[in-house]
Structure 1
Amino acid sequence: MAREPMREDITPMFRRIIAGVRPVLQGLTRQDWSGGEYLPREGGFVIAANHVSYVDPFALGHFLVDHGRAPRFLAKDSLFDMPGLGAVVRGTGQIPVKRNTARAGDAFAAAVQAVRDGACVTVMPEATLSRDPGLWPMTAKSGAARIALETGCPLIPAALWGPQDILWPYDGMRIKVFPRKTMHVHAGPPLDLSDLAPPYERAALRAATDRLMAAITTQLEKIRHENVPVSRVDFHGYLDKSTDEEGRP
């Protein structure tokens, strides 16, 4: 598809990255985009998606850029210190997340401000790659819902499928580009959270997050033409009890 004009101001670095990376993605992958009409044409919003591969940000970013919106991902702060890559993530306005530190809340404040400034904030609510045997969405953290409730902005659920065919880290980190893989990104309508009134305590955040993951899963079922298993993997509950940050015993 032809790329829509960018609907927000972006940095020169962001423009260079789009000009360099988008043609590569166009050439190496096929695109199955759906639901672009649900993305706000102006103003800030949050889009939240499932997480199946380290390639996910490229697929979701490609989808957003094609619809005229520039993604601001919440990303691990270690990426900001990597040679080369650090300059890119800083220069494109990505948002660092300082996990397990006293400054972990800085990412929330920065994301809220970005939305209020009119940006598209992009969140992977599971906060890690899916450990579900069928790669279905797991239980999630409440960050995306918190940002949306705090700002009153639209919260858009989106499903990703296909990036795992290029790179699935539990398969030896082997990159498989050919034959060309199809990147499926299907967005749904904004969630209705109007029944959740402030103050947004734990029960409200959990209700909003469960609603979000259900909507993402519904979109993924349509892409995969499958029904999700009855239970959702609670990776974070298990992690808190018996594993380290990478999910190892």
Structure 2
Amino acid sequence: MSERVYPPVIKTALGVFKALNIKFRLEGTEHIPAEGGAVLVSNHVSYLDFIFAGLAAHPAGRLVRFMAKKEIFDNRVGGPLMRGMKHIPVDREAGASSYAAALKALRGGEIVGVFAEATISRSFTVKDIKSGAVRMAVASKTPLIPVALWGPQRLWTKGRKRRLLQRNVPVTILVGEPLYPKRGDDYDQVTEDLRARMSELLEKAQREYPDVPKAGEKWWQPAYLGGSAPTPEEAEKLDFQEAEARRASRLEREERAQGEGGAS
């Protein structure tokens, strides 16, 4: 498979990280298979996570095809890059086609990356995850590989200004032991086991992180470690309010469009 876009993007990203003196801690990469399909499931703390989660497979010489919301592919800058890297668009109105595309990639020996929490976790803990990743692994007979990221939230996360040029930020990428779900398993239980492994990895990354927040910077630290990030319960309320606001805005646009159509 021709790769004209992905390798240069990785090389550019690594060059930028070096210039910014981003300090990586990368562990567990031996769990990434040298060949064959796999479902890589990462937590989600920033808008840059697909870059850092993808680096988990870099030592094995593998590229990760991430499932990402369709809106990114519609962007005039990001879209061509995403398509060039052969990532998989997710249209929530047509989920079956996204699932089919992911299965095709997995059966073709690709690693498919999934952010099973669906949205960035405001609490910086692992939210409830859906069973889609487990079902894909079972259908394609591929392993599930849990990954935990910590540090990217300091560069760009939900509700905070971008700080992409911030220097000397440590970034932790931990890869856990694979799970091998199979037909007949309780998919909900396997999903909970996956979430537990991701949470364990993330807590390890957080507790062993080399930096502590300075005055006024406690927003990037989870509440359970004394930070001012929302608790999981507070974050859930904020997510609900955001979803309701989006829904109301969408309905308003649809009603306006119908009104304009009727007036013509």
Q: Note if 1:174 corresponds to 2:166.
A: no
Identity between Structure 1 and Structure 2 (%): 32
Q: Work out which of the residue numbers 26, 48, 51 in structure 2 matches 1:55.
A: 48
Gapped runs of 5+ residues in structure 1?
1-8
Aligned to 2:70: 77
- Please tell me whether residue 244 in structure 1 is matched to residue 244 in structure 2: yes
Residue 120 (structure 2) aligned to one of 119, 124, 129: 129
Cα separation, partners in 2 of 1:192 and 1:233, compared to 1, 3 Å:
farther
SS of equivalent to 1:160: strand
Q: What amino acid maps onto 1:95 in structure 2?
A: I
Equivalent residue number for residue 25 of structure 1: 17
Q: Distance in 1 between matches of 2:233 and 2:2?
A: 38
Q: Paired residue for 1:116?
A: 107
Residues 1:47 and 1:104: Cα distance change in structure 2 (over 3 Å) = same
Deviation, 1:246, is 5.9
Question: Where does 1:207-226 land on structure 2 (aligned, <5 Å)?
Answer: 207-225=189-207
Structure 1 or 2, whichever has the larger Rg, is: 2
**Across the two proteins, how many residue pairs are aligned to each other?**
228
Q: Give the letter aligned to residue 104 of structure 2.
A: Q
3-state SS, counterpart of residue 73 of structure 1: strand
Is the alpha carbon distance of 1:35 and 1:247 closer, same or farther for their aligned partners in structure 2, counting shifts above 3 Å?
A: farther
How many Å apart are 1:205 and its aligned residue? 2.5
Q: Kindly tell me: are residues 235 and 152 of structure 1, through their superposed partners in 2, closer, same or farther at Cα, counting changes over 3 Å?
A: farther
Q: Distance in 1 between matches of 2:58 and 2:81?
A: 16
Report the CA distance shift for 1:228/1:44 in structure 2 as closer, same or farther (over 3 A): farther
The question of whether the paired residues in 1 share the 8 Å contact of 2:152 and 2:171 is answered with yes
Q: Which moved more, 1:185-194 or 1:50-59?
A: 185-194
Per the alignment, in what secondary structure is the counterpart of residue 12 of structure 1? coil
Q: Structure 2: how far apart are the matches of 1:153 and 1:233?
A: 34
Check if 1:105 corresponds to 2:113. Answer: no
Instruction: Name whichever structure is richer in helix by fraction.
Output: 2
Q: Is 1:38 matched with 2:28?
A: no
Q: How many Å separate the matches in 2 of 1:180 and 1:247?
A: 39
Question: 2: CA distance between counterparts of 1:236 and 1:221?
Answer: 19
Q: Is the 8 A contact 1:239 1:247 kept in 2?
A: no
Matched letter for residue 6 of structure 2: F
* 2:89 counterpart of 1:96: yes
Amino acid in structure 1 at the alignment position of 2:202: L
Check if 1:160 corresponds to 2:149: yes
Distance in 1, matches of 2:30 and 2:67, equals: 24
* Equivalent residue, structure 2, for 1:193: 181
**Residue 56 of structure 1: how far off its partner (Å):** 1.0
CA RMSD of aligned residues (A): 2.9
Structure 2 distance, partners of 1:33, 1:41, is 17
